[in-house]
Amino acid sequence: MTAISQGPAAMRPGAEDPPHIRRTTDGAARLNMMVEGVHCGGCVARIERALRAMPAVRAARVNLSTRRLAVTWDDSRAGPAEIMAAVEGLGYRAMPFDPELLAGRHQAQEKALLRAMAVAGFAAGNVMLLSVSVWAGYSGEMGVATRGLFHWLSALIALPAIAYAGQPFFASAIQALAAGRTNMDVPITLAILLATGMSLIETASGGHYVYFDSAVTLLFFLLVGRYLDSRARGRARAAAENLLGLAASSVTVLDPDGTQRVCDPAAVAPGAVVLVPAGQRIGVDGTVIEGASDVDSSLVTGESLPAAIGPGTAVFAGTLNLTATLRVRAAATGEDTLLAEIARLMEAAEQGRARFVALADRVARLYAPAVHSLAAITFLIWFFLVGAPWQQALLYAVAVLIITCPCALGLAVPAVQVIASGRLFRQGILLKSATALERLAQIDTIAFDKTGTLTLGRPALRRDRAVDDEALRAAASIAAASSHPLARALVAAAPPIPVAANVIETPGAGLAWAGPAGGTYLGSRAWCGVAAEDGSTDDGPELWFVRPGMAPVRFAFEDAPRPDAAAVVARLRSSGLRLLLLSGDRPDAVRALAERLGIADWRAGMAPGQKVARLEELAAEGRHVLMVGDGLNDAPSLAVAHVSLSPSSAAEISQNAADIVFQGDRLAPVAEALAVAGRAALLVRQNLALALLYNIVTVPLAMLGHVTPLVAAVAMSSSSLVVMGNALRLAGRNRPAGAGG
């Protein structure tokens, strides 16, 4: 904040800008800051509305998942100090955007929420036991002194627990009120303090009934919702950070005089020549001007097979140079690279998805003020209109508070989620989002990636044609000296063989071995000197084996579909779901797989941005799309989809971006997840209906004075048991794996 507090003059052109401020050639400045105190979409809208009202601001955006504030403004009309003053004037704290600091603060916040939730849950359980004992003694068996002792014990447990566990809500409410605004934590804080204060007064005056249990239980379920939401946003932040971690930490620039210097990739000027040794990631977008190598370009194409490149080939930041040194002329660096664009796509998608908060939290936010309003109305009616003593009016209000304790509504969603998660986990399916099941149940369209998703993601020797065993063994002995994926697949298809000595590998071309009869070659058609008319010219990965005095042998490879892909696709299609295949692979390969599996709607050669655009088109049509993908290039698509799923073999960033991860080589978990989600959605609706029906019936009875606190406690506990019992039906229900949701 020190750089910002120096005022606009310190940030004018000519002054050295801090890292979080960038300037453009059209006189605009771009600011990236981290904002604390943002809890909901209302906070985001409030900040963006205030900034966009400033004449100098061209664009303002707050990302709810990462807390990043991005502002673009006319540098001649305002400075960073004015921008930040507008944000802090709303009661939010802003600081330079630092991913490491953000991660540390987020982890600390999650730990604090977890501790608060544990304290509130422990206190709620113990206070409830004491309260049940007190209510059970209303018949006269419990003396006044004993009842008072139990009340004070409840207070001793509840008051410190509420003071500690309520801090996340209390601090947020105080901050908002100090800035002259309200947020969702203000009514929550008022409700908790009112319930606690009234209980303490009743305890101190020797009253019969208190409701510390209602206050602390309400706080516990509110904390559960806040924690689940925090975890979901944390995963969104981690996904974008892990993607940026694929960028090279430094690059070697070759200056015109021949000297080398190491610098940050963002400091490389377009047009500079960058040296990329084998085994290092390319740090810039550009064009190869010297060298031939194999590059892992799965970040762009999604294909697991390395691509042979040479002079004139375009390369991208984040891709991995595998076999030989390259010289690359930089075309785009830093925030202008394709890698940075993919990260921005993910962040933009996560901001849209962050609107899906846990259903339990949504209900609790609306439920808390309603509960206490009903209790207050009950007290006012009985005390002022009916003329009952204030103790009796308070007793009826207490009964309302107890009987409307949000246990049943609080359990309606989590109980089903826990049981559904356990069932899926036993089948190798891991839910990573609190709202994944809810969104998965709404799916009407599935978009599949090809390589590693519908297929196994690794090349295998094709067995649809005769392969000479002797040639296979001879070629495999040479291939064993290479780590190239096609060479490894050839070795895997052959019986155990010794490794040939003195094999020479030419990057991007093939392997050479000087045998007794002369040179033997294993590699590409062109490198081995095989004419186009010799052998098959079918499209697809291949290796040619050329030996002296013998005809060339072609080894063809394929990325085989998952064993049950055809059956699962057929079942999904028969359930009424629309199926699409979106791939970055070659059209011929995509067409062949689509026809083999029966997917009519397919597209090939798609870049990450094109996949995102297609999913956004489907969303604009009202479609709820499940994206199933595994490649690095699928990360933005997984983020922008309504819900996403990845195999456990997927790249780490894709698993982080996905809502669900499944294990194994089979595709059946996709259908199983849909089936469980559909059943879970039905049970959630049933649970909510049961909980609401309970309140519709019991709340009027309590307001009319027909329910005692003891009966209210029994009714409240019974409603929770009914909800949990209904949710348990999911654990014992087995449906066919291909059933739709």
Structure tokens at 312: 């004139």
**How many CA atoms are closer than 13 Å to the CA of 80, on its beta-carbon side?**
30
d(CA 29, CA 24): 6
Structure tokens at 557: 């490879």
Instruction: Name every residue whose Cβ is closer than 8 Å to that of residue 64 and which is 6 or more positions away in sequence.
Output: 38, 40, 41, 43, 44, 233, 351, 354
Structure tokens at 288: 């190869």
Catalytic, out of 449, 559, 585, 659? 449
Distances (CA, A) of 135 to 142, 370, 394, 478, 705: 9, 25, 16, 83, 16
Residues 618, 603 contacting (CB under 8 angstroms): no
Distances (CA, A) of 466 to 72, 461, 522, 695: 64, 11, 18, 72
CA proximity to 448, closest of 182, 281, 652, 670? 670
User: Residue 660: beta bridge partners?
Assistant: 431, 645
d(CA 119, CA 296): 49
CA proximity to 235, closest of 106, 63, 93? 106
Concatenated DSSP letters for 114-148? HHHHHHHHHHHHHHHHHHHHHHHGGGTTS-HHHHH
Active site annotation includes 469: no
Distances (CA, A) of 701 to 118, 212, 282, 698: 33, 22, 71, 5
d(CA 32, CA 19): 9
Q: What is the CA radius of gyration of the chain?
A: 32
Backbone angles phi, psi at 320, to 5 degrees: -110, 125
Active site residues: 449
